[in-house]
Amino acid sequence: MKLLVTLKRTPQRDARIRISEEGDALDLDNVQFEVNPFDELAVEEALRIKEARGEAEVVVVSVGAEECEQQLVSAMAMGADRAVRVHHDGELDSLQVAKALAAVVEREEPDLVLSGKLAVDDECGQVPAMLAGLLGWPQASQASDIELSEDASGATVVCEVDAGLETVSLALPAVIMADLRLNEPRYASLPGIMKAKKKPIATLGIEELGDLGPARSRVTGFRALEDKPPGIKVGSVEELVQALEEKKLI
């Protein structure tokens, strides 16, 4: 079977993100990047499915400029077999990305698409569900457990919903979005990193993928939350309650 995992290059979790002086962009010059942690869960899950079934191809795909190949290599260092990069240098909105990915899916014809439930940078969490919508495939979000049927025609997925744990069954092909408790990703190992360097990355021009439409959702400015004021000491429980109320925390 073929598993397609979408992934995004996002700033490293502990990085301190600064805003450019003009306030309209982020200053990411000294920031290190990594595979979006939720997408990494999706990669891990794909690898586990591959290992459990003995035979499957794991393809990772990302939309972005050349530097996002580092993240594709990271995923291949974990064990993904090959990568596809849709080349685009610049901003795209979620729907454009979803359309580009849908075009890749139509070319690759995977049995299952796995994604993270959201990207930790913009925290939109839109692309995978849009992709499912564009493809007309069933979807399962915030998955904490995925079990494939023996003949790989369907999957039973446990989703973490507000009310508790929801179990759904999906006919494949489908799109499943990984949540935190789905698994614990493996560490990209040294031989894995070495092997990944030799695995193929196919590059597709975004213009090859049909009309993605205009970008209609744009971030035009950033603001820091009011700089966290220095901590204060309160003198009594009463003052503490008052301060919490002022901050709308209770």
Partner 1 sequence: MTDTLIIIQATSNELSKSDLAAAGFGREAAAASGGSFDILLLGPSAAALSAEVAGLGGGTVFTMSSAELEVYTAEAFAAAAAAFLSGHPYRLTAAATSSATKEYFPRLAALLDVPMASDVLKVESVDPQKAVLTRAVFVGNLLATVELEAPQALVTCRSSEFAPPASGGESSAVEPVDAPTALASPGKVFVGLEAASSDRPDLKEADIIVSVGRGTRGPDEGIPLCERLADVLGAALGATRAVVDAGWLANEFQIGQTGKIVAPEVYVAIGLSGSIQHLAGMRNSKTIVAINKDPEAPIFEVADLGLVADLFDAVPELTAALESRGG
Partner 2 sequence: MDKLNTIFAATVTREILWNVPTWARALMYILFLAAAVFCVLGIARRVRSWRRGREAGEAVSPGKAWRRLWRDAVLQVRIWRSGAAGLGHALVFWGFLVLFLGTCIVAVEDYGSWLLGREHLFFTGTFYLGVSFALEVFGIFFLLGLVLALSRRRSGERLRPLSRPVDLAVLWLFLVIGLSGFATEGLRIAAAGGGLESHPFERWSFVGWWLATGLQGLEVNVLTSLHLGFWVGHMVLSMVFIALIPYCKLRHIFFAPVNIALREDRKAGRYLGVSMEEVEETGRYGAAVASDFTRRQLMSFDACTECARCQTVCPATATGKPLSPMKVVLDIAGSSEGGESLHGDEISPDVLWACTSCGACVEECPVYIDQLGAIVDLRRHLVAEGEIRGSAQAALRSVAAAGNPWGMPREDRADWAEGLGVPTIDEVDSPELLFWIGCAGSYDRRSRKVTEAMVRILQAAGVRFAILGKGECCTGDPARRMGDEFTYNELAGANIESLSAATFERVLTTCPHCFNAIRNEYPDLGGNYDVVHHSEFIEELLASGRLVLEDGAAVRGTLHDPCYLARQNDVVEAPRSVLRSTGLDVVEPEQSGKEGFCCGAGGGRMWMEEDTGERINSERWSQLQETDPETVAVGCPFCMTMMTDARDAVDSPVEVKDIAELVAERLPGSPA
Q: What is the footprint of partner 2 within residues 190-209 (CB under 8 A)?
A: 190-195, 197
Partner from partner 2, partner 1, none binding residue 189, C-beta < 5-8 Å depending on class: partner 2
Q: Characterize 196-217 residue by residue with b for buried, 16 or more Cβ atoms within 10 angstroms of its Cβ, and e for exposed.
A: beebebeebebeebeebeeeee
- Non-local CB neighbours of 178 within 8 Å, separated by 6+ positions: 38, 39, 41, 42, 45, 114, 115, 116, 117, 143
Q: Does 227 bind partner 2 (CB under 8 A)?
A: no
Q: Does 19 bind partner 1 (CB under 8 A)?
A: yes
With respect to partner 2, which residue has the nearer C-beta, 22 or 184? 184
Phi-psi group of 139: left, alpha or beta (phi > 0 → left; psi -120 to 50 → alpha; rest → beta): beta
CB of 195 to partner 2, least distance (A): 6
With respect to partner 1, which residue has the nearer C-beta, 190 or 225? 225
Q: Does 110 bind partner 2 (CB under 8 A)?
A: no
Site for partner 2 in 5-64 (CB under 8 A): 12-16, 30, 32, 34
- The answer to whether the beta carbons of residues 36 and 234 sit under 8 Å apart is no
Partner from partner 1, partner 2, none binding residue 203, C-beta < 5-8 Å depending on class: none
Site for partner 1 in 77-96 (CB under 8 A): 93-95
Site for partner 1 in 147-176 (CB under 8 A): 156, 159-172, 174
With respect to partner 2, which residue has the nearer C-beta, 82 or 186? 186
Length of the chain: 250
Site for partner 1 in 172-191 (CB under 8 A): 172, 174, 177, 180
Phi, psi of 66 (to 5 degrees): -55, -35
**Total residues at the site for partner 2 (CB under 8 A)?**
22
- The answer to whether the beta carbons of residues 246 and 232 sit under 8 Å apart is no
With respect to partner 2, which residue has the nearer C-beta, 44 or 111? 44
CB of 175 to partner 2, least distance (A): 25
Site for partner 2 in 74-93 (CB under 8 A): 78-79
- The answer to whether the beta carbons of residues 115 and 143 sit under 8 Å apart is no
Over the window 128 to 167, marking each residue x when it contacts partner 2 by CB under 8 A and - when it does not, the resulting string is: ----------------------------------------
Partner from partner 2, partner 1, none binding residue 233, C-beta < 5-8 Å depending on class: partner 1
Q: For residue 235, what are the CA distances in angstroms to 230, 232, 242?
A: 16, 10, 11
Q: Does 180 bind partner 2 (CB under 8 A)?
A: no
User: What is d(CA 236, CA 242) in angstroms, rounded to the nearest whole number?
Assistant: 10
Phi, psi of 226 (to 5 degrees): -45, 130
User: What is d(CA 127, CA 2) in angstroms, rounded to the nearest whole number?
Assistant: 20
